[in-house]
Amino acid sequence: MKIYFVRHGHPDYSRDCLTALGHRQAESAAKRLQPCGIERVFSSTMGRAWQTAVHTAELLGLEIAPCDFAREISWGTMDGEPLLDDGNPWLLMERTIAEGQSLCDPDWRSSEYYRNNKFLQTTSGVIAGLDAWLEKLGYKREGDYYRVMRENTDGAVALFSHGNASATMFSHLFNIPLPQVIGLLYIDFTCVTVIELPECYGSLVFPKLVSADAHHIAGLDVENVSGD
């Protein structure tokens, strides 16, 4: 199975919707996805992701299935105690690098940056929701891998989501510390990240990163806003 993870287009964050530019980017993404054999379209229930998904769903003649787990994550203090950079994971990643600390620490959740940060709770919700969703698609999480639970898993689906939510999902899929993924993978507006899960019925499998690109919006220039 191929899963096309798509970040939303250029947003008006205050209104949780796409800008005019965002709609043009979403149209380009839909044309990029049109020949990919996508059979089902899923989306975060936040406005900017849903409006991006609409362009693809309408072009393909498909309905959109809502996925609350794919909503953007939040961050900030859990108990009122101040956090560095308000707990923003992108800024904390930059601080970690500036201080010469490792982004690859598997115990990153217990660091001073994250242990009192609701970022942990919301990312846990994304991970649990992702695994439940994948199990419905025929892939059950077992340890670091996925068990193929049914035959005929050779289709393609698209999931429209957000920057941090997508990074969280990729971190879990590939068993890579989340701060490292945030530092490693640049997810532009309507970036299409293709992940393939093998079709070996009954076997344990590991996902493969096929591609991640946003070339379809070349020429639709705007200063990007990282994170969500």
pLDDT attached to residue 134: 98
User: Across residues 97-116, what is the average pLDDT?
Assistant: 92
Whether 33 has a pLDDT exceeding 70, the answer reads: yes
Among 146, 120, 122, 119, residue whose Cα is nearest residue 134: 146
Which residue bears the tokens 């191929």? 2
Extract the tokens encoding 205: 């499998």
Would the pLDDT of 221 be above 50?
yes
Q: Do 149 and 135 touch, CB atoms closer than 8 A?
A: yes
Q: Which residue has the tokens 């640049």?
A: 186
What are the extents of the domains in the chain? 2-70+121-217
Tell me, what's the pLDDT at 212? 80
Burial class (CB in 10 A: 0-12, 13-18, 19+), 1: buried
- CATH H superfamily, domain 2-70+121-217: Phosphoglycerate mutase-like (3.40.50.1240)
pLDDT at 175: 98
Residue 227, pLDDT score: 47
pLDDT for 179 equals 96
Q: Per-residue pLDDT for 59 more than 80? A: yes
User: Per-residue pLDDT averaged across 53-81, rounded?
Assistant: 96
Q: How does pLDDT run across 146-196, given as a tens digit for each residue?
A: 999 999 899 999 999 999 999 999 999 999 999 999 999 889 999 999 999
Instruction: Look up residue 120 and give its two tokens.
Output: 């942990």
Q: Is 106 exposed, middle or buried (0-12, 13-18, 19+ CB in 10 A)?
A: exposed
Say what the pLDDT of residue 228 is: 53
pLDDT for 63 beyond 90 = yes
Buried b (16+ CB within 10 A) or exposed e, 185-194: bebbbbbbbb
106 contacts 62 by C-beta, under 8 angstroms: no
- For residues 58, 60, 65, 68, the Cα torsion angle rounded to the nearest 10 degrees is -80
Average pLDDT, the chain: 94
Please tell me the predicted confidence (pLDDT) of residue 62: 98
